[in-house]
Structure 1
Amino acid sequence: MTSTLAPLVSAEAFWEMTHSDKKLELIRGEVRESMTPGGLHGGFSLGIGALLRTFARSTGGYAGVKAGFLLERNPDVVRLPDVSFVCAERIPETGVPETFWTQAPDVAVEVISPSELADDIQNKVTLYLLAGTQQVWTVYPRQKILIIHTADNLARTLHIGDTLQGSGVLEGFQTPVSAFFEL
């Protein structure tokens, strides 16, 4: 018996099929559908996005929600972090792209849902960091903690009562961790 492998999908072909109501990502050439986030997930993502957007506007950078980033080629990987930040120096001369970014975000934020598996979360973090993301924030609403993973393979856990002091591409960004968990 022979099996037929589905052809790998390119980022360009993936763009053409992403205009649907499904949450799709492209992982090594394979289109994968994931659970649509719930209301709390969306609320937390929007709040964190607003914090980063305020900072981005003050620095000329970009902050967005669910924007696609092409992280690898051949086979292609396109991820859609819940929230992303790109510093001003890395925005293309042509401006913010209408399709996917062709680079990793400087900061990727993932709001973790109860159904997400630890291995899947770690794989996302690793993929972002290997693609050039400087910081990956994993936000755990139930536990009210924020874990900041950095390109030098360090992870720092912040709790309610702590203050996030931006560094590197987020130099000058500062907010209480409690702001991440306000709806």
Structure 2
Amino acid sequence: MKNDKKDANIVDEPSSTYGSYSYADYLTWDLEGAVELIKGKIFRQAAAPRRIHQEVSFKVARLLADFLEGKKCKTFIAPFDVRLTTRSQKNEEIDTVVQPDICVVCDWEKLDEMGCIGAPDLIIEILSQGNNQTELINKYNIYEESGVKEYWIIHPAEQTVFIYTLIDDKYVPSKLFTKGHQVTSSVLIGFELNLDRVFEGLTY
């Protein structure tokens, strides 16, 4: 396989034992824009995130970082590679690399200079026009399978938040939260997200 971005479109050419592409392949690509690898298949972000997406991401990440100041857990924002694996930590055998909009990692042993290897404690994805349904379904499945304890989906256009909490290895959905709600986390005890504050002043 050539180290060329265009060649990354050929997803039916196996390059590892476990899937079409591996993290070892991913490291060789000189790609523009965000690219994720899910079960060996490539997902590209169609364009840079929209302004509203970035506003919401910045607000939430800042509130998380402020809450976690001096605590064990750390907040990271995209681009930040999260390698999810239940099989091996070898680059050639990792077939899923995602870049969540926001993630929180409490186990520092999962952190290295390349990012995070293993499941973050909390992942937050912020929907935009660049997201597609297949990508969301695949991420739900891989986050559940990999043991991400809490998975939040924020929809800025609808001003809603939905939370999946991992219980007995399966995600249990929350109710739909919207403006007027205070959202809490079962992972980050004491953290409260005021959705009025998050969605305040958003203009399209």
* TM-score with structure 1 setting the length: 0.83
Q: Aligned partners of 1:126, 1:30: CA distance in 2, in Å?
A: 14
Q: Aligned residue for 1:65?
A: 77
Q: Aligned residue for 2:116?
A: 101
Letter aligned with residue 52 of structure 1: L
Contact 1:56 1:85 in 2 (8 A): no
Contact 1:15 1:99 in 2 (8 A): no
Q: Aligned partners of 2:119, 2:139: CA distance in 1, in Å?
A: 12
The structure-2 alpha-carbon separation of the partners of 1:20 and 1:43, relative to structure 1 and needing over 3 Å to count, comes to farther
Q: Aligned residue for 1:163?
A: 182
Matches within 5 A, 1:54-133: 54-66=66-78, 67-72=80-85, 74=93, 76-87=95-106, 90-92=107-109, 96-133=111-148
Q: Aligned residue for 1:174?
A: 192
The structure-2 alpha-carbon separation of the partners of 1:119 and 1:32, relative to structure 1 and needing over 3 Å to count, comes to closer
Give the CA RMSD over aligned residues.
2.2
Q: Aligned partners of 1:58, 1:75: CA distance in 2, in Å?
A: 32
Instruction: Name structure 1 gaps, 5 residues minimum.
Output: none
Q: Aligned residue for 2:42?
A: 31
Deviations 1:88-134 (A, max 9, x none): xx111xx8421031111111111011353344323212211211101
Letter aligned with residue 44 of structure 2: E
Q: Aligned residue for 2:158?
A: 143
Question: Do structure 1's residue 154 and structure 2's residue 172 form an aligned pair?
Answer: yes
Letter aligned with residue 50 of structure 2: G
Q: CA deviation at 1:34?
A: 1.8
Q: CA deviation at 1:59?
A: 1.6
Q: CA deviation at 1:12?
A: 3.3
The structure-2 alpha-carbon separation of the partners of 1:33 and 1:165, relative to structure 1 and needing over 3 Å to count, comes to closer
Q: Aligned residue for 2:13?
A: 5
| SS of match in other structure, 1:126 | helix
